[in-house]
């Protein structure tokens, strides 16, 4: 089965995630892949190519290729202020914070002392 490989980062910064989008390469398919990684429902964020304009916000299935997205592109997710009233997400659990920190440490060069200090904050 074909997949589209893209990079995704929060518009506010942070680690870059490399994800694979299954066929069909739609905006919703990408959001479905990202949602568990950032621990937010798909309705609580939108995707952007330039950190400003959201893509695929209209009704129906929107192909990523309609926006010129190709393998290796960097996309950004932007949290919606307030989100949907039907999807009031609970605050992240402490374990989620630890996972995010460990993920950042794995992909960002941090010296062992900084790792120990970061890790001890969550234990």
What is the pLDDT at residue 105? 47
Residue 83 has pLDDT above 70, yes or no: no
Greater model confidence, 41 or 91: 41
Helices 112-122 and 94-107 pack at an angle, to 10 degrees, of 170
Residue 84 main-chain phi, psi, to 5 deg:
-80, 145
pLDDT of 104 higher than 80: no
What pTM, to 2 d.p., does this model score?
0.64
pLDDT at 53 over 60: yes
Asked if 61 and 29 count as a contact pair (C-beta separation under 8 A), the reply is no
pLDDT digits (tens, 9 = 90+) for 9-52: 999 999 999 999 988 889 999 999 999 999 999 999 999 999 99
Q: Average pLDDT of 102-115?
A: 52
Cα angle: 5, vertex 47, 79; to 5 degrees: 130
Share of residues in the chain with pLDDT > 70 (%):
63
pLDDT of residue 79: 92
| Average pLDDT of the residues of the chain | 76
Q: Helix, strand, or coil here: 55?
A: strand
């Amino acid at each position: 089965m074909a997949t589209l490989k893209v990079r995704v980062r929060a518009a506010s910064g942070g680690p870059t995630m490399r994800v694979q989008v299954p066929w069909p390469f739609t905006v919703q398919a990408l959001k479905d892949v990202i949602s568990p990684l950032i621990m937010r429902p798909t309705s609580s964020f939108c995707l952007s190519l330039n950190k400003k304009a959201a893509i695929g916000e209209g009704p129906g299935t929107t192909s990523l290729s309609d926006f010129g997205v190709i393998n290796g592109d960097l996309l950004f997710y932007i949290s919606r202020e307030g989100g949907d009233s039907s999807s009031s997400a609970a605050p992240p659990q402490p374990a989620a914070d630890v996972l995010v920190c460990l993920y950042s440490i794995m992909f960002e060069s941090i010296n062992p002392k900084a790792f120990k200090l970061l890790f001890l904050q969550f234990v």
